[in-house]
Amino acid sequence: MKIKSGISLIVLVITIIVIIILAGAVILSLSANNPITKASEARFKASMAEYNSQLSLYIANQYTASAGSFDFNNLNASTLSEVQAILNGITTENAKNIRIVQGKLSYVGPIQNEIDWSKELNVSLEIPYIKSGMTLWYDGIYNGGLGVHNDNASSSKAIWKDLSGTGNDGTLLNSNYDSSGGWLDNGVKCDGSNDYVYVPSLGVQSNITYEMCFFSPNTTGNVVWSRGANTLIIYSNASGYISSNTGEKGRDGANFNISNKTTTLTVVYNIATQNAYYYQDGVLKSTVTLPTSTTTFSFTTGLNIFADHQSLSNKAGNIYSVRFYNRVLTQTEITQNCEIDKLKYGFN
């Protein structure tokens, strides 16, 4: 008996129908009004409404227990455990994107749809870093302003908006704005070809706290935060110092473990004690006495921020957040800022 080969008409029709269904599903998934997105929006808004109800109940109970003296403006929750203690039943995954700032619910996650829905609900997008004394704040997620994220295709991609309120917007220099350098993974990627972030004048300051959350791919562990005249410089290879036109102001012996990882480094210069304090991920690593009498630090010529530095031609890494203060932050405040970095940028 002769066996016929080839595709039957029925099989061909079924195949075409399946392709049409799959194509429709793809088109539908790309639409902002598709059922999947609408269902996610409904779940998100319902959850936020529930969290707001729980927050209101918590505040009412605190007010009653304190005989009317409780001030909700002082209610802040910046860690997972603090959020979960106030919002009963909130999952760990949801708690990662929720904070409580001055008694109000705040969304701090990076998901654009949820950012938009939060705006519709009038939910705050404020991120609870320490604000007192802050003179500079760059955020890799909200790099175009609070609630705004620019990418490599954005018309204002070269500007890193300052969220501190002081107007110290930064400028990305020498970036390729592609997969090798520019905005990538909720931060600015430096490709190792002399690209950096230029910060305008921060003026003359006495006490300083400087924090930077970044990824260093360098297995040898050498890193510089900033380089240039009148600029803060931190080397991880057991030497960190601040330089100015009059020369070195301090050197430390901290051994930072930053090789091939994301971390937050913090430097505090305290004029009153004439000490420099070096922290990694909120933990004090070194306290060093400044070698000369110092009363002020000048940053009038601006600041250049690199993600990594072994030599002037090797600056390859990701910068996620930069913060500058004109005062000494306490250990508690440094820990709070670091916890926010950990949750936002996903490192331990």
Q: For position 150, which CATH number holds?
A: 2.60.120.200
59 by Cβ neighbours in 10 Å (0-12 / 13-18 / 19+) ranks as middle
Range of 107's domain? 35-120
Q: Which two tokens stand for residue 274?
A: 């004439």
Do both 297 and 246 map to the same domain? yes
Q: At what angle do helices 35-65 and 9-30 cross, to 10 degrees?
A: 40
pLDDT at 231: 43
Q: How far is it, in rounded angstroms, from Cα 251 to Cα 328?
A: 18
Q: CB of 119 within 8 A of CB of 150?
A: no
Do both 90 and 214 map to the same domain? no
Residue whose C-alpha is closest to residue 85's, from 123, 47, 56, 58? 58
Residue whose C-alpha is closest to residue 293's, from 268, 274, 313, 277? 274
Q: Which amino acid is residue 93, in one-letter code? A: E
Number of domains in the chain: 2
* Of 88, 120, 152, the domain-final residue: 120
Residue 127 lies in a domain: no
Q: CB of 187 within 8 A of CB of 160?
A: no
Q: How far is it, in rounded angstroms, from Cα 258 to Cα 284?
A: 15
Do both 206 and 282 map to the same domain? yes
pLDDT at 236: 39
Residue 129 lies in a domain: no
Q: How far is it, in rounded angstroms, from Cα 73 to Cα 293?
A: 41
Do both 263 and 142 map to the same domain? yes
Q: Which two tokens stand for residue 166?
A: 């002081």
pLDDT at 334: 95
Do both 173 and 113 map to the same domain? no
pLDDT at 265: 85
Do both 188 and 326 map to the same domain? yes
pLDDT at 238: 35
Do both 94 and 139 map to the same domain? no
- Residue 107 DSSP SS3: strand
Number of C-alpha atoms within 13 angstroms, CB side, residue 177? 13
Do both 184 and 301 map to the same domain? yes
Do both 56 and 167 map to the same domain? no
Q: How far is it, in rounded angstroms, from Cα 203 to Cα 212?
A: 19
Indicate the DSSP class of residue 336: H
Residue 8 lies in a domain: no
Do both 39 and 141 map to the same domain? no
Instruction: Spell out the per-residue pLDDT of the chain, length 348, in tens.
Output: 555 555 677 777 777 777 777 766 666 555 556 777 888 899 999 999 999 999 999 999 999 999 888 888 778 787 788 899 999 889 988 888 898 877 889 898 878 788 889 888 888 887 788 989 999 999 998 899 888 888 999 999 999 999 998 999 999 988 889 888 899 878 998 877 778 888 887 777 788 898 989 887 765 544 444 434 444 444 433 333 443 333 333 344 455 666 778 888 888 888 888 887 888 899 998 787 765 666 776 667 677 777 654 444 455 688 899 999 999 999 999 998 998 888 788 776
- Residue 142 DSSP SS3: coil
* Of 93, 120, 147, the domain-final residue: 120
* Of 120, 147, 170, the domain-final residue: 120
pLDDT at 243: 38
Backbone angles phi, psi at 181, to 5 degrees: -165, 145
Do both 265 and 305 map to the same domain? yes
> Measured on CA atoms in the order 212, 213, 218, 220, is the torsion positive or negative?
positive
Residue whose C-alpha is closest to residue 297's, from 272, 271, 275? 271
Return the C-alpha torsion angle 263, 267, 268, 273, nearest 10: 130
Residue 7 lies in a domain: no
Residue 24 lies in a domain: no
Residue 186 lies in a domain: yes
Residue 208 CA to chain centroid, in angstroms? 20
Residue 20 lies in a domain: no
Q: How far is it, in rounded angstroms, from Cα 150 to Cα 179?
A: 15
Residue 148 lies in a domain: yes
Do both 143 and 115 map to the same domain? no
Q: What is the pTM of this model?
A: 0.69
